[in-house]
A and B are shown apart, each in its own frame.
Chain A
């Protein structure tokens, strides 16, 4: 379990993550939803140490994320960021090998090679593995970075809008992959999504953020309701039952 305690980040006096206290479970699929600027990316950046917080603590299982040695934390949680820009000239395979850095420090072991191979084939990149990442489409690059995160083989995997750049087929493939990571490997997947219907179909739990605060937090069926969604997004959507899942009709 990741326990987030009173985590706060302010820019020029405006708290964009405002004393957030939150428990993320040790397994399953948790989705964070919320309008643009709600502080979702900032929250994930704080948990993964990319940003330093103004106050608060993050404990993942028994590790104090904000003060433990970097390598310990890197074996515990990994993150796929929202933007995938890089100037580095690297191939897909080299990128995925970087995922093993916390274990290998640059010298890949046999176990590392196996993890890299698995991650590459899991993400359907076998035919692209020699391709430099700056010569790939946005969706392909997204998958390459995901493969790197998978090679890192952490219990907690944070993903900021992993469906960006993906077509419908690949988006569904990505969600199925994340679901199977949670089910088959017992990982805890925490992701930010804008499409609440993907969230509804695939998540065990949904956290709703607004203005830097957690305003909804509960099992999927309790958060995909007109009232709860109104609290998060400030607009009421009708919610329909369809083949056992709840769908919010936000198109009209």
Chain B
């Protein structure tokens, strides 16, 4: 640095990001888009044998649900990673979907199965989502907005919260009558094979809203990758931004949980694969790449479930198995120096 006083004249026409990184991003995106399109074609056409007018509409609806869930999970996880400055935490690990299930269970528990059946699906979904957004935002904003509460508090609250929500839920399961339990099971462990079109509709609306909101905050999200402190010194209104982002995350978690129940590891898998493949912090790249990966994995998982396993199991369990293995590998590799 000695010749500091001889400042070089500025060079114009700079390329950003660097050519190497750009080429890599282009290659990665192309490959993933091709994979995605192939899996869509495969999903729509495999084993139809002639009954197109019967099979196609049903499969397209399933595909739509897979798209909604994949995008919701990927976008919410990437936002959550940026917010917590950590790539291993996910909204699920931090108890978001446990909270959703607790809320859904409490409604059945307190209202009773008969009254519950009377509540329109749409209203139910709205109540659940609204409560999740409120609860999660209040809880996690409180943790994230104070600098002195570090990552450990966050993890601790998440794990304790998740466990607590889970235990209260299972307590309610135990004291419920079998009728209520049955109703609840069909609500909570919905699958792609039995999609409620009305819920899919409102979920898509929520997804589009949340994703647009996330895209409008892309430059703030990029700044947040530098960490809370630097974001503040660059003029980010941290408390407000964190609140808005948590609302988006909670809304998207509600979307995916309402449609398929908890799929803990999908977001983790898709987001971390995306970071590794693109090696950039830019959300304009990581959002679509993670979303395409998530959707592709869901499609392939669902196809395997239908054609190979013959519906023995759930999509959630397939994803959690694959994701769980990936999670362990990730932890082992990170713990190495």
Contacts and interface: CB of A to CB of B under 8 A. Distances in A.
B225 A88 contact: yes
Contacts of A72: 235
Given A126-B8, A170-B1, A98 B235 contact: no
Interface residues of A, number: 55
Contacts of A95: 226
The 4 A-B pairs at the shortest CB distance, nearest first, are namely: A106-B219, A74-B235, A117-B10, A173-B1
Interface in A22-77: 45, 48-51, 69-75
B51 interface: no
A225 B223 CA distance: 44
Contacts, number: 120
A70 B236 contact: yes
A89 B280 contact: yes
A143 B1 CA distance: 9
B50 to A, nearest CB: 50
Contacts of B10: 113-114, 117-118, 121
A15 interface: no
A173 B8 contact: no
Interface stretch (A79-87, A202-210, A238-246): A79-87
Interface in A101-153: 101-102, 105-108, 113-114, 116-118, 121-124, 126, 130, 132, 143, 152
B232 A106 contact: no
B258 to A, nearest CB: 32
Interface string B46-74: 00000000000000000000000000000
B150 interface: no
A187 interface: no
Contacts of A130: 18, 20
B85 interface: yes
Contact of A173 (B4, B17, B223, B230): B4
B182 interface: no
Interface in B124-151: 147
B118 interface: no
A124 B2 CA distance: 8
Interface of B: 1-5, 7-8, 10-12, 14, 16-18, 20-21, 85-87, 147, 218-220, 222-223, 225-227, 229-230, 232-237, 275, 279-281
B234 A124 contact: no
Interface stretch (A174-182, A189-197, A212-220): A174-182
A102 B235 contact: yes
Counting chain A CB atoms within 10 Å of each CB, the highest count among B7, B8, B225 belongs to B7
A211 interface: no
A98 B20 contact: no
20 contacts: A69-B237, A70-B232, A72-B235, A75-B235, A81-B230, A88-B227, A91-B18, A93-B14, A93-B16, A97-B16, A98-B234, A107-B219, A108-B16, A121-B7, A121-B8, A124-B4, A169-B2, A173-B4, A174-B1, A176-B4
Contacts of A114: 10
B280 to A, nearest CB: 6
Contacts of B7: 118, 121-122
B2 A48 contact: no
Contact of B281 (A51, A75, A88, A122): A88
Nearest to A167: B1
Interface residues of chain A: helix, strand, loop or mixed (majority):
helix
Nearest to A125: B1
Interface residues of chain B: helix, strand, loop or mixed (majority):
loop
Contact of A177 (B4, B8, B17): B4
Interface of A: 45, 48-51, 69-75, 78-79, 81, 86-91, 93-95, 97-99, 101-102, 105-108, 113-114, 116-118, 121-124, 126, 130, 132, 143, 152, 169-170, 172-174, 176-177, 180
A71 B229 CA distance: 14
B237 A94 contact: no
Nearest to A92: B18
Contacts of B220: 106
Given A73-B235, A143-B1, A152-B234, A86 B16 contact: no
B237 A70 contact: yes
Contact of B1 (A81, A89, A123): A123
Contacts of B227: 86, 88
A180 B5 CA distance: 8
B333 to A, nearest CB: 15
Contacts of B21: 91
Given A106-B223, A118-B7, 10 more contacts: A72-B235, A91-B21, A98-B223, A98-B234, A101-B223, A107-B219, A108-B16, A113-B10, A117-B14, A124-B4
Given A93-B18, A94-B17, A122-B7, A50 B229 contact: yes
A38 B243 CA distance: 34
B16 A94 contact: yes
B235 A90 contact: no
B280 A50 contact: no
Contacts of B20: 130
B32 to A, nearest CB: 18
Contacts of B12: 113, 117
A82 to B, nearest CB: 11
Contacts of A174: 1
